[in-house]
Structure 1
Amino acid sequence: MGDNEHLELLRLVGEALYGERWQAPIAGDLGVSDRAVRYWISAANPCPEDLGLRLLAIVVRKRESLTGLERVVLERLKLTGERS
């Protein structure tokens, strides 16, 4: 996977998870500075070769977290009888 494909995935995942201001939050998830993300986007520095796998791991973690949250909300709605 080349830098262009990595950058497309980075932008796709970042915007899907965090909206317009995605660079700093995705940097935090990746364990890098937001400056590093900006350098990748501007092509000043190459993307890490494992960026695609790291983005996949973030998506999986977020999905698991949201699934757990969904269960909690559904359970609370059952307790209050407030279902649609």
Structure 2
Amino acid sequence: MTSNLDAPAAGGNNGPPLDERPYAILERIGRAMHGPRWQGKLAGDIGENERELRRWRAGIGEPSPRTLAWAREEARRHIAGIQRAIEE
């Protein structure tokens, strides 16, 4: 017997879809950090060429797990900087 609690639903609790493409994760992080013109800024933050991000957007390849980890770490640094700024 199975219940509705066995597997999480895609997008449940307002979270991202479970099958979210790696580029979509990168885009979500980039937009949160830098707004609508995020690509060049995030590319510089994570040491990637902006052209590579455009290729990923077009579906040619995808960011590696390491690239996503770097983006997440940059987002955490960004959050920490904002937190320090509002505490002063």
TM-score under structure 2 length normalisation? 0.69
* Higher share in helix: 1
Report the RMSD for the aligned CA atoms in angstroms: 1.8
Of all paired residues, the percent bearing the same amino acid is 22
Tell me the matched-pair count.
70
Once the two structures are superposed, the pairs formed by residues 5-84 of structure 1 within 5 Å of their partners are: 5-72=21-88
TM-score under structure 1 length normalisation? 0.72
Unaligned runs of 5+ in 1: 73-84
AA aligned to 1:69 is A
Counterpart-to-counterpart distance in 1, 2:63 and 2:69: 12
In the TM superposition, residue 45 of structure 1 has moved relative to its aligned partner by: 2.8
